[in-house]
Chain A
């Protein structure tokens, strides 16, 4: 943002001040993530930068915490990772199916009581997690699903569907309904129309909603803390216990892996968003 040459001094100063503030805020947002990176290669057991690391001494760096994460005998990370992925995948599938169907209904102009139903469907995103946790725990305990994978998957479907509903409704807002009518007039039945016409067009929205649901489930700790038994431990639970009890560098190794995972998810979400906007003809 170059300033025009006639800018007065005080606005020039203000402009540089503004740039400085923005730089600081961006730094504040992103820098914390990068502290974890080097520290996860620490050769020592403390979570501070050792003198060796500050001098870039190669002996001060090691992969021992990554080895510990994978091979460590006492470490439940393997089980936790397996559980996390299984739960997140099933929760994502459930959220996508229920959420997409609901979004299709909601974006129909014939839908009665749209406002109140939409507000109800979005509410799990708004209600504080601790309250959702307590309520879901009472329910799961009553039907005997506490401390089971099924219970946790159902809980995460509750928390994940709002994201799918929001993203798919947004995609459908630019949807041209005459194409489905055209398909119907050419003799296609509704299911066929959905699979061949609607779904391919709204797919970016569905997948990005699914990504949100996946991340929500994969990162969720409050509700799982109420529901999980020893067998159902997940990565967030292990991190939570680790952060509360002994802050070991192994956690940082796991955190680094999680940051890489979220970077991948971010990239795919961004690509999808752009593709979706292109498909809907929104020029930016």
Chain B
């Protein structure tokens, strides 16, 4: 054979390899163009806004924009002793501008969050500035210091300096019950005020136990559905699918009726003599309600992946295990159970992801002790209007969910999600 291999040409005289590559590229573009509308739509309306949540959560430009001259002068200040006349002077001119724009109140409120006591001293300073009591021709530092003794306190000037950067992680720290201390170090909130950490832990706890309950209840019925003859299992499948298709609010409403103190469940407990009529337990507006309702609502998401895996396991495997001398328990544990692990992984991850972000059901039946982190986010969005804090908490939750989603994608693959 000769060393030079003959190039195969198409009828147009182009080398086949080139022509094939061109065709492949064309196909690639074609496929991409089909996906492009949805991808673009989602990026604009969904992915970018989530990114915007991030910039909102770290945004702290308000004071940076209010006191530009002050922060410029403060760059030279070492932050240990009272700042120099220049800083006071710059602050005075910034403040005077704010008074003209009537924005001094906002400054006071924002600084008050940084250090208590700012609100009153900015008001005092405002009155002095308003009445033109401050003489600009002589030392301004002395005059400001006379307005209130806190203006002579270096801690307050340190607090102002801390607000200089346009970005802050303070909201994230707040979400973990921490804050920036006076010297800029990270400090813990007092033990009795650590509400957010309790909420995070409770969210994890409830998501974990709901997943566990779903698994314990879902495994047997998925097994039954997979082993029963078709005509029976189809009928029973409706029991799984009907709740799955029914409105979430309807299902939550039915639990509210069942679990109330005069409700059916309590009636039943009284009837069988488990509890006395006058001491009916509170089963709603607490954790019990959240557990019961969420387990029932999320159970189909456990059963369906388990079922689709169990359906593929041949019954002869169990028979083989038994014929080789295993008791039914051993055969189940050594043969059947390991084969269902992919289904268990898929179901548990799916239920956990859904449970960790649950909002509606805990809000309606959870009361104070059964609410989750989502409810706190909604509270800050609607009631306190602290949107940057809500964004920060949302992104912390999102990070957790995305990690689990990534694991899910690795283990199960998103294209293997089964629906009904």
Interface residues of A (CB under 8 A from B): 1, 11, 18, 21-22, 25-26, 28-30, 32-33, 35-36, 39, 46-49, 98-99, 101-102, 104-106, 108, 110-112, 115, 117-124, 126-132, 134-139, 154-155, 157-158, 161, 163, 165-167, 169, 208, 212, 215, 218-219, 221-222, 226, 236, 239-240, 243-244, 247, 251-252, 255, 258-259, 262-263, 265-266, 269-270, 273, 284
Contact = CB atoms under 8 A, between A and B. Distances in A.
Nearest to B353: A126
B230 A138 contact: no
Contacts of B363: 244
A284 B230 contact: yes
A126 B405 contact: yes
A116 to B, nearest CB: 10
B254 A255 contact: yes
A252 B401 CA distance: 34
A57 B227 CA distance: 43
B238 A130 contact: no
Given A29-B239, A255-B250, A123 B49 contact: no
B221 A26 contact: yes
A129 B361 CA distance: 13
A247 B256 contact: yes
B45 A47 contact: no
A47 B359 contact: no
Given A155-B45, A221-B360, 20 more contacts: A22-B221, A26-B221, A29-B239, A32-B258, A33-B246, A105-B35, A110-B24, A110-B31, A118-B414, A122-B417, A128-B357, A128-B401, A130-B374, A136-B46, A139-B49, A239-B250, A243-B252, A252-B253, A255-B249, A255-B253
A263 B24 contact: no
Nearest to A173: B415
B9 interface: no
Interface of B: 24, 27-28, 30-39, 41-42, 45-50, 52-53, 56, 217-218, 220-221, 224, 227-228, 230, 236, 238-243, 245-258, 260, 262-264, 267, 296, 299-300, 328, 353, 356-360, 363-364, 374, 377-378, 381, 387, 390-391, 394-395, 397-398, 401-402, 405, 409, 414-415, 417, 419-420
Listed residue (A49, A127, A158, A247) with the most chain B CB atoms within 10 angstroms of its CB: A127
Query: Which DSSP category, helix, strand, loop or mixed, fits chain A's interface?
Result: helix
A284 B414 CA distance: 24
Contact of B50 (A36, A108, A131): A131
Nearest to A26: B239
A212 B27 contact: no
B250 A33 contact: yes
Given A158-B45, A169-B415, A22 B220 contact: yes
A102 B49 contact: no
Given A102-B39, A105-B33, A126-B401, A239 B249 contact: yes
Contacts of B41: 98, 157-158
A11 B328 contact: yes
Nearest to B377: A130
B246 A120 contact: no
A244 B375 CA distance: 14
Across chains A and B, which 3 residue pairs bring their CB atoms closest together, nearest first? A128-B357, A105-B34, A105-B35
Contacts of A123: 46, 405
Given A135-B50, A284-B230, A120 B42 contact: yes
Given A33-B242, A36-B257, A243-B253, A127 B39 contact: no
Contacts of A111: 28, 31-32, 35
B45 to A, nearest CB: 6
B220 A21 contact: yes
B241 A239 contact: no
A32 B251 contact: yes
Given A29-B296, A111-B32, A127-B401, A239 B53 contact: no
Given A104-B34, A120-B39, A124-B42, A36 B253 contact: yes
A240 B415 contact: no
B28 A112 contact: yes
B52 A135 contact: yes
A275 to B, nearest CB: 14
Nearest to B27: A110
A28 B296 contact: yes
B398 A127 contact: yes
B245 A269 contact: yes
A19 B185 CA distance: 60
Contacts of A273: 420
A219 B49 contact: no
Contacts of A222: 359-360
B227 A1 contact: yes
B352 to A, nearest CB: 11
A240 B56 CA distance: 29
A167 to B, nearest CB: 6
Contacts of A47: 257, 260
A117 B398 contact: no
Contacts of A244: 363-364
A157 B240 CA distance: 26
